[in-house]
Structure 1
């Protein structure tokens, strides 16, 4: 199975068996189809499907986070140059003996990342560095779109994972990578499907936070609030009317409050299943363990 090149809050690697069991038949039987992911994140599901015996004929990956999409595009087009840059970062960081020595380096690189005036390759390398050296692998920006995650406590984080990046580059070779709204992805996928391929949409939006301390939905400037969740459901309704299959994952708001049936009410006309997930990335390292998450689909 292809491995994601990022740590990512809500990443889908551990839920992969549950997701794979719920795919439409045509995804698994060799039928040509189009795969569309409007919230790519770490790309775990897309990479898994691209590396499967029956990969999709056409793939559209999108995310509103322009820093993330730059990383995808660099991995696709310039993997060797990215690896060369990461090797320099690795060498420099390894020479710093402890966290106290590493802190100035980390925050200098964070400032460079936030200036967003470096080359696309360097910016992609800084993304991976911050993702691996930052606290708990979080990606979080403030209202000014400044990455604000502090340094982590990792003694020797690894930034150079050559096999993973080269394999991802190979898999992404013919993928259309976009940086638009999830609503616009719908139009792109339907208008651009000249061959009328069956189209499968997987939605993995920023999760609705269970409480304020678990709110890490600011993966891009602005947040993804309840109004956006409702807009996404309306997109799902439209796709359903057009005859497209879709699968959506999100948090289960009943984990902490049995009366908070936000998604049960919103998606009451669709199939809602609860699956177990063990979340390893959050703001309070001690509060980890298995919780329910939702898989919702229209087929």
Structure 2
């Protein structure tokens, strides 16, 4: 397995698995065919594994459009991005601007809002508008041109797909490796528009299990990250369950930022 560390994700993403990458890479099998990630987010495991062929999918059209623009022309995105001052005023102005003007502009806008929003959260209101407040100035720097170019190189061998996770799983064959990292279950506090209003919801868990069982029967190797992994294990007997400690930082106040277990479930040794 090729574990590459130089290329960093270009996005801050709530729920990112960067803290437990050593655990995930140690659990990942040798990839003979394609690496498939139906909930790609910041794609940190994709970057770490550096597969020759891959499918990066997500239901968020703005995320996939940003990756597409970066794959095709990182220089154009960077030229726009560097022209904006990293201020609250710029943030609010861009947040109020609706995407659809230009691919490079939309990608730069997405990167800027993601960098300076609160905790790297993506959330939409009922009208599908990004509504996360300004997060302050302690959010790190925007990716520079070299970083965007390197990320673009990694995307050259990737197929980008925007849509439901089920379709991405269904195309997997016995030579492919599928990594699933759906939004976590939080009971009644869930579904406030995080990741977009059409993102994975609690009622989608049964569909996920159905698709995973079907892929497992085809010989697809599958690794799942989910906070209700014990529930999944009951539905997927014989799968291997492991965990890694991680400090969660999505909570709005420091007292809500505590170490928790990140569970992983896989159907191979």
Matching residue of 2:58: 63
* Structure 1 residues without counterparts, runs of 5 or longer: 94-101, 191-196, 254-260
CA, structure 1 residues 141+293, in 2 after alignment: closer, same or farther (shift >3 Å)?
Answer: same
C-alpha distance in 2, partners of 1:156/1:292? Answer: 25
Matching residue of 1:42: 42
Matched, 1:7 2:12: yes
Matching residue of 1:208: 185
Matching residue of 1:247: 223
CA, structure 1 residues 286+121, in 2 after alignment: closer, same or farther (shift >3 Å)?
Answer: farther
C-alpha distance in 1, partners of 2:121/2:237? Answer: 32
Tell me by how many angstroms 1:217 deviates.
6.4
CA, structure 1 residues 189+266, in 2 after alignment: closer, same or farther (shift >3 Å)?
Answer: closer
Measured against aligned partners, the alpha-carbon deviations of 1:243-298 in whole angstroms (never above 9, x if no partner) come to 11100001248xxxxxxx53443444422222211122333344212101110111
Structure 2 SS opposite 1:40: coil
Matching residue of 1:16: 21
TM-score, normalised to structure 2's length?
0.89
Tell me by how many angstroms 1:75 deviates.
1.1
C-alpha distance in 1, partners of 2:49/2:241? Answer: 23
Matching residue of 1:257: none
CA RMSD of aligned residues (A): 2.2
Matches within 5 A, 1:159-170: 159-170=142-153
How many equivalent residue pairs? 263
Structure 1 SS opposite 2:19: coil
CA contact (8 A) 1:4 1:44 kept: yes
C-alpha distance in 2, partners of 1:235/1:152? Answer: 37
TM-score, normalised to structure 1's length?
0.81
Matched, 1:145 2:128: yes
Matching residue of 2:243: 274
C-alpha distance in 2, partners of 1:153/1:43? Answer: 24
Matching residue of 1:193: none
Matched, 1:85 2:80: yes
CA, structure 1 residues 80+68, in 2 after alignment: closer, same or farther (shift >3 Å)?
Answer: same
Q: Find runs of 4+ consecutive structure 1 residues off by over 6 angstroms.
A: 214-217
Measured against aligned partners, the alpha-carbon deviations of 1:224-259 in whole angstroms (never above 9, x if no partner) come to 222211111111100110111100001248xxxxxx
Structure 2 SS opposite 1:183: helix
Matching residue of 1:298: 267
Matching residue of 1:110: 95
CA contact (8 A) 1:252 1:292 kept: no
* Structure 2 residues without counterparts, runs of 5 or longer: none
Measured against aligned partners, the alpha-carbon deviations of 1:85-136 in whole angstroms (never above 9, x if no partner) come to 11101xx33xxxxxxxx44332211011xx2232111111111111111112
Q: Relative to structure 2, which stretch is displaced further, 62-71 or 132-141? A: 132-141
Q: Bigger radius of gyration, 1 or 2? A: 1
